Amino acid sequence: MVFADLFFIYVFLPVCLCIYFAAYGIKLKNAVLVVASLIFYAWGEPLWILLLLFSTAVSHYGVLFFDYYKDKPKKKKTSFIITMVLSLAPLFLFKYTGFLVENINLLPLVNIPVPKITLPIGISFYTFQALSYVIDCYWRKVTPQKSFSKYLLYISLFPSLVAGPIVRYQTISEQIEDRKTTVDDVSEGLTRIVIGLSKKVIIANNLSVIVANIFGTDITSTSVVGTWLGAAIFALQVYFDFSGYSDIAIGLGRVFGFKLNENFNYPFLSKDIQEFWQRWHISLGSFFKDYLLYMPIFGKRHKYGGLLLVWFCTGLWHGASWNFIIWGLFFGAFIMLEQFLSERIKKKNKQRKKASLNPIKIKIPVLIKHIYTKLILMVGFGIFYFEDTKELGLFFKNLVGANNNKFSDIMLSTVLTNNVFLLIVAVIFSMPIYRGLKKASVDYEFENFFSYVQTAICVILLLVSSIMLVGATNNAFLYYRF
C-alpha cells in the first residue's frame, strides 16, 4: 500500500483513525497500530510480512540474549555479533546477491546464473532501525524492550515503515509506553500529510515527466544545457518525492501521538556539500555518522578512512548498482576535500597565532558558494539517475558536449515553456516559504487569519491531489525501491 493512493487516503486511514481513537488505553491503541501496520505492509505482497517478523524477532530476542550475558563480556560480544549478522543477512541476500553474482561473472571463465530476487519493500529502512536498536542496547544507550509486541510496533509502525525516516528507538521509546494526541497534534499532523501528498502528486510526479522528456531514450540526443537542466530538475523531483513521503510519515506519526524526527531541512539552501548532507536524508546521515564514521579500520580510527567507508556504504545502501557506489564516493570526495581545506586553514592560523601574525581570512562570496554547490549537486543527481554504467558514461560526456550533442535545442525550450509555472513553483517551495509565513504569523499576531488561510489551502490541495490520483495506477515513492 502507498500513501499517494485514494484507497489509503479515503478508506484505510479514516478506518484506522476511527478504530484507534475509539480504542481505550495505550495497550489497545498499540495493538490497533500493530495490526494496521501489518495490514498496510502485507497489502501488496503478504509473503514479505514473514521476513519483517523474522527480522523483528532476530533483533528483539538477540538483544535480550546478549543482555542476559551483560556481566560476561565475551559471551555478550559473541551474541551481539551473531545478532548483527542475522539482522543484516536478509538485506544482503535480497538486495545484493544478484549484484555480487553479476560482478563475479566478470571474471574469466565464470558464468554463474544471476538470481532474480525481488526486493522486499522497505527492507533497508526497517533493517537499519533494528540495527540502531541492537547497537544502542549493546552500548547501553537504551534499555532493552522486554515486550515483543511493543518492539514490533517500533519496527513496523506504518508511517515510517517502508521509506523512513529511520527512527531511533530512544526517540519513541517513551511514546510507545505512554502518549497523548492533542487537537494541535491532529491539526498539525493533517496539515503535514496534505503538504506531503501535494509535494508528491502535484509537483514530483509532474517533474518526473519533464525529466523523462529531457533525457528521453537516448541521452546523446540531449543538449549540453538540457543535460545540466535535466539533472537539476531530477534533483528537485527526488527532493519533493522523498521529502513529501517524510512529511506524510511525520504527519501520520503526529496524529497518532508520535514525534518522529525530521528528515529534511531545506537542503538546497546549502552553501557547501557538507551542509547539504546535514540537511538531506538526515536520519540516514546521522545513522552512518553515529555507527560507522568512527569505526576502527585495521585496528585504528582513521578520519578520512572512516569518511570513505561511510560514503561507500551510503551509496551502496541506495541500491545494488555501481552508479550508487560512484554517487556516494563522489559526494564523499567533496566532503573530504572541504574538511581537508578547512583543517589546513585552521592549522595555518594556529601557526600564525603563535608567530603573532594575523589569521588567514578567506571570504568566498555567497553566490560563488551556491554556484559551486549547485553544480556539484547537478552532477551528483545525474549519477543517481543513470543506473546503467554505459548511460552514465554518456551522461558525463553530455555535460561537456563530448557526444557531439548540441549546446541547446528547440525541444528543450518547448519543454521549459510548457512547464515554466511548475518549475517556478518547485523552486519557490524548495525554500522555507511556509516556515517563514508561519513564523511571521506568530511575530505579527495574525495566527488566526493564517490558520484559516492554511486550512482553505490544504482543502484545495487535497482536492487537486485527489483529482490527479483518479485513474493513476502507480504512485510509489522513489525511495520505496531502496
Q: What pLDDT digit, counting tens, does each position of 120-158 carry?
A: 888 999 999 999 999 999 999 999 999 999 999 999 999
State residue 439's pLDDT score.
86
**Mean pLDDT, all residues of the chain:** 90
**Residue 111 pLDDT grade (very low, low, confident, very high; cuts 50, 70, 90):** confident
Are 132 and 256 found together in one domain? no
Whole-angstrom distance, CA of residue 201 vs CA of residue 469: 7
In a domain, 39, yes or no: yes
Annotate 347-407 with DSSP letters as a single string. HHHHHHHHTT-PPP-----HHHHHHHHHHHHHHHHHHHH--SHHHHHHHHHHHTTTTS--S
Q: Are residues 259 and 396 in the same domain?
A: yes
Q: How far apart are CA 303 and CA 305, in angstroms?
A: 5
Q: What is the model's pLDDT at position 298?
A: 52
Q: Is residue 362 pLDDT above 80, yes or no?
A: no
Q: How many Cα atoms are found within 13 Å in the side-chain-facing hemisphere of 304? A: 10
pLDDT at 50: 94
How many CB atoms are closer than 10 A to CB 259? 14
Whether residue 147 is found in the same domain as residue 224 = no
Taking only the tens place, the pLDDT of each residue in 230-250 is 999 999 999 999 999 999 999
Task: Give the mean model confidence (pLDDT) for residues 23-44.
Answer: 92
| Residue 183 identity (one-letter amino acid) | V
Q: What's the Cα-to-Cα distance from 279 to each of 45, 207, 269, 391, 434, rounded to whole Å?
A: 33, 22, 9, 29, 17
Residue 237, in any domain of the structure: yes
Torsion of CA 17, 20, 26, 31, to 10 degrees: -120
Query: pLDDT higher for 232 or 5?
Result: 232
How many domains would you assign to the chain?
A: 2
Query: Are 295 and 414 members of one domain?
Result: yes
The answer to whether residues 167 and 223 belong to one domain is no
Q: Which three cell numbers stand for residue 370?
A: 551556491
170 with 232, same domain: the answer is no
- Entry pTM: 0.92
The answer to whether position 65 is within a domain reads yes
What pLDDT was estimated at residue 474? 65
DSSP state letters, 85-137:
HHHHHHHHHHHHHHHHHHHHTTSTT--PPPP--PPPTTHHHHHHHHHHHHHHH
DSSP 202-215: IIIHHHHHHHHHHH
Is residue 1 assigned to a domain?
no
Domain finish residue from 178, 202, 231: 178
Q: Measuring CA to CA, how many Å separate 244 from each of 153, 198, 199, 481?
A: 23, 7, 5, 16
Contact 40, 161 (CB under 8 A): yes
In a domain, 444, yes or no: yes
> pLDDT tens across 366-405, in order?
999 999 999 999 999 999 999 999 999 999 999 999 988 8
pLDDT tens for residues 67-102? Answer: 888 888 889 999 999 999 999 999 999 999 999 998
Confidence band of 303 (pLDDT split at 50, 70, 90): confident
Taking only Cα atoms into account, the Rg of the chain, rounded to an integer number of angstroms, comes to 24
State which of 178, 208, 235 marks the end of a domain: 178
Look up the domain containing 460 and give its range. Answer: 193-481
Confirm whether 51 is domain-assigned.
Answer: yes
Based on the domain organization, do 313 and 386 belong to the same domain? yes
Same domain, 35 and 105: yes
Has residue 341 got a pLDDT over 70?
yes
**186 part of a folded domain:** no
- Residue 471 or 197, more confident: 197
The answer as to whether 148 is a domain residue is: yes
- Specify whether 104 is located in the same domain as 220: no
Cα distance between the two ends of the chain: 16
Answer yes or no: is pLDDT of 300 > 70. Answer: no
Size of the chain, expressed as the number of residues it contains: 482
Burial class (CB in 10 A: 0-12, 13-18, 19+), 326: middle
pLDDT of residue 473: 65
* Pair (158, 232) in one structural domain: no
pLDDT higher at 478 or 422: 422
Do both 318 and 461 map to the same domain?
yes
In this structure, are 474 and 369 located in the same domain?
Answer: yes
**Domain end (from 178, 213, 242):** 178
Nearest to 220 by CA among 413, 400, 394, 396: 394
Q: If phi over 0 gives left and psi between -120 and 50 gives alpha, with beta otherwise, what is residue 298?
A: left
